[in-house]
Amino acid sequence: MNAIELSPRQSIILDMVKEFGPITGTQIAEKLSLSRAALRSDLAILTMSGLLGARPRVGYYYTGKNPTELIAGVIGSIQVGDIQSRPIVIRENCSVYDAIVTMFIEDVGTLVVVSEGGFIEGVVSRKDLLKATMGGKNVNDLPVTLAMTRMPNIILTFPDELVIRAAQKLINHQVDALPVVEMVQLNQVEKYKVVGRFTKTNITQLFVHLAGN
């Protein structure tokens, strides 16, 4: 299985380099009876994917990396900020009813509750809201702050955190989403400004993207 889907010609080039490498682009072109220019994009894809290495005056060589190593290498370099979604927030003075409506309109499973300026106060999930409706109280009169999980008990991530670390947080804490925040010093108090949302969907999208679709 290849980490990226290679065209038939790219597969032939890869096999050729495995067998004859190091081999120059001109030599590959001659063996395939193609012009050097016609091969340029295929060679670029093979080197960018990490399957082939290229050294000036020596030529192309097979890196020997297997697809698992390549995937680990790629994933190990992607940061939360590269794949995060936009934040979906509600203000702390909203009701449980407002939160339910926002969740439907925005089509998300988790909302971040913020104070003025976009600073995180808490997180409210689907089940938090379901639980709040079970008490038989009027959800219009019920503040969302009563249903949410509060700071400092929120697991956060940051735009420059590695995706693999953030994914481990999702698993370890058994939550569906992490607020992406930036730390701000306000009157010598550390506050966290919400700048994004990191969810299991982001990871699924990355997975499909890396598979070459």
Rg (CA), the chain: 25
Place of tokens 């306000």: 186
The least distance separating ligand ADP from the CB of residue 128, rounded to whole angstroms, comes to: 5
What residues between 45 and 74 interact with ligand ADP by CB under 6 A? none
Nearer to ligand ADP, 36 or 193 (CB): 193
Among 4, 51, 154, 163, binds ligand ADP (CB under 6 A): 154
The least distance separating ligand ADP from the CB of residue 147, rounded to whole angstroms, comes to: 8
Distance CA(165)–CA(156), nearest Å, equals 11
Contact 198, 86 (CB under 8 A): no
Which stretch, 82-90, 132-140, 152-160, 181-189, contacts ligand ADP (CB under 6 A)?
152-160
Which stretch, 41-49, 64-72, 123-131, 200-208, contacts ligand ADP (CB under 6 A)?
123-131
How many CB atoms lie under 10 A from the CB of residue 11? 14
Contact 92, 103 (CB under 8 A): no
Place of tokens 């998300």: 108
Length of the chain: 213
What residues between 81 and 120 interact with ligand ADP by CB under 6 A? 110
In this structure, the dihedral spanned by the alpha carbons of residues 157, 160, 163 and 166, taken in order and rounded to 10 degrees, is -20
The least distance separating ligand ADP from the CB of residue 179, rounded to whole angstroms, comes to: 6
What residues between 18 and 37 interact with ligand ADP by CB under 6 A? none
Which stretch, 23-31, 70-78, 150-158, 180-188, contacts ligand ADP (CB under 6 A)?
150-158
The site for ligand ADP, by CB under 6 A, has a size of: 15
Q: Is 178 in the site for ligand ADP (CB under 6 A)?
A: yes
Give strand ranges (E) for the chain.
Answer: 52-55, 59-62, 89-91, 110-115, 119-125, 149-150, 177-186, 189-199
Which stretch, 45-53, 95-103, 153-161, 180-188, contacts ligand ADP (CB under 6 A)?
153-161
Residue 23: helix, strand or coil by DSSP?
strand
Give contact residues for ligand ADP (rule: CB under 6 A).
Answer: 110, 123-128, 149, 153-155, 175-178
